[in-house]
Structure 1
Amino acid sequence: MNIALWIAAGLLATVALAGGITKTFVPRKKLASHRGGRWTGDASDGFVKTLGVLELLAAVGLILPAVLDIAPVLVPVTAICWILLMVGAMITHLRCDEARFVALNAVYLALAAFVAWGRLGPFTD
């Protein structure tokens, strides 16, 4: 089970890293021109970049605390924060009629719930 939790956390960290880099460093107008990024056209630059930084922090928080064995409780805390972020993403994509991205965010939410449950519950080290 520990391997499955590491795989799930790694997948989420990869998604968070990719999304964080994109939102932090790609201009908002360019993001708005791509599928799934339509919502950025209505958001401020600061908001999009803040979400990007939060995603970069999530990528770090899902992996490093456990790897370094320094405050490993931050892994499930980060997973719970990711769940909240995905709820917001799902609502945003619903408002933009982007059902495909709602489903994708639901998968990420489920992975984060699995990591949070596994690292807080029965499979803590």
Structure 2
Amino acid sequence: MNIALWIAQGILGLIFIMAGMMKAFQYEKAKEGMPWVKEYSKGLVIFIGLSELLGGLGVILPYATGVAPSLTPIAAIALGIVMILAAGFHAKRKENQAIGMNILFLALAIFVAVGRW
């Protein structure tokens, strides 16, 4: 079970770190790859990116280092909430292919949150 949890944490962490870094530090590249970014302020997109980046780090680092490991399931819950909100956002925009990924990442986040609680 521990190995499965680490794999899920690694996937979640890497996906959110990469997505967060692009939104937070490569705004122009994010505008090209994500149509919704053009419709929202740069500040909001950077805030979302920093939130995803910190969530991605939070799902891996606390448990890996042994420093405040209780933060790992909290970060997983936070990422799950982000995925619920993202699924609603994409549903409103009729971006159905993105909702599938949101549900997959939500399931991984729930698995990590429950497994590490």
Give TM-score, length-normalised by structure 2. 0.94
Kept in 2, the 8 Å contact 1:38–1:96? The answer is: no
1:74-103 CA-to-partner distances (Å, cap 9, x unmatched) read: 000000000110011111111221111000
Matched residue, 1:10:
10
Whole-Å separation in 1 of the counterparts to 2:25 and 2:93: 23
Give unmatched runs, 5+ long, in structure 1.
Answer: 121-125
Normalized per residue, the structure richer in helix is 2
Q: 2:65 is matched with which residue: 61, 65, 68?
A: 68
Matched residue, 1:23:
23
1:32 deviates by 3.4
SS of the aligned residue for 1:4 comes to: helix
Whole-Å separation in 2 of the counterparts to 1:31 and 1:66: 30
Whole-Å separation in 1 of the counterparts to 2:36 and 2:88: 11
Kept in 2, the 8 Å contact 1:39–1:92? The answer is: no
Could you list the structure 1 runs, at least 4 aligned residues long, displaced by more than 3 angstroms after superposition.
none
- Note the aligned Cα RMSD (angstroms): 1.1
Kept in 2, the 8 Å contact 1:32–1:38? The answer is: yes
1:7 maps to a residue whose letter is I
2:30 maps to a residue whose letter is L
Kept in 1, the 8 Å contact 2:13–2:55? The answer is: yes
| 2:83 is the counterpart of 1:79 | no
| 2:39 is the counterpart of 1:42 | yes
Whole-Å separation in 2 of the counterparts to 1:108 and 1:115: 11
Give unmatched runs, 5+ long, in structure 2.
Answer: none
Whole-Å separation in 2 of the counterparts to 1:41 and 1:92: 15
Give TM-score, length-normalised by structure 1. 0.88
1:67 deviates by 1.2
Count of aligned positions: 117
1:87 maps to a residue whose letter is I
